[in-house]
Amino acid sequence: LSVLILNGPNLNLLGTRQPEVYGTTTLADIERDCRSKAETLGFEIEFRQSNGEGALIDLIHAARGRHAGLILNAGAYTHTSIALMDAISSVELPTVEVHLSNIHRREPFRHQSYISKVALGQICGFGAFGYQMALDALAHHLRRPA
């Protein structure tokens, strides 16, 4: 079973980007932790990041038939991108939405998520550990789809 873990704009800067909000963990650290977690779950993972909305959409399209599920931190596109939401609907991949920060206690413009409308659920506020939670959630879903 294979899972695509996809990261959106500015997440390549994790570690130095607003550490008071996002912590000091880098995206490479998150990838490493996801790889070891995936191994314990018996998953393969593809771990990707792009700053481009179109590139993220292309990666979602390419995941169809190759991956059983999607873990997505779409960054700021979460709050703006109907196109990303439609891409997820189009490929019908079970999706877990992740955010490092608790977007609901931040600025009002971060409270709205287009991804939530098509995701199984959202994990936010637990920092990098949210990716581990998302892998568990997807494993649970893929073994016993609700």
99 in catalytic set: yes
DSSP for residue 115: G
Catalytic site residue from 22, 77, 114, 131: 22
Instruction: To the nearest 10°, report the CA torsion of 67, 71, 73, 77.
Output: 50
Residue type, 57: I
Residue at token pair 């992740």: 98
Contact 3, 70 (CB under 8 A): yes
Contact flag: residue 128 with ligand DQA (CB under 6 A)? no
Size of the site for ligand DQA (CB under 6 A): 10
Q: From 38-46, 60-68, 74-82, 85-93, give the range in contact with ligand DQA by CB under 6 A.
A: 74-82
Residue 67 belongs to what H/E stretch?
none
* Interface stretch with ligand DQA, choices 57-65, 82-90, 94-102, 133-141 (CB under 6 A): 94-102
- 132, two tokens: 């581990």
**Hey, which residues are catalytic here?**
22, 99
- Could you tell me which residues are annotated as the binding site for substrate? 73, 79, 86, 100-101, 110
Residues that bind ligand DQA (CB under 6 A): 10, 73, 75-76, 78, 99-101, 103, 110
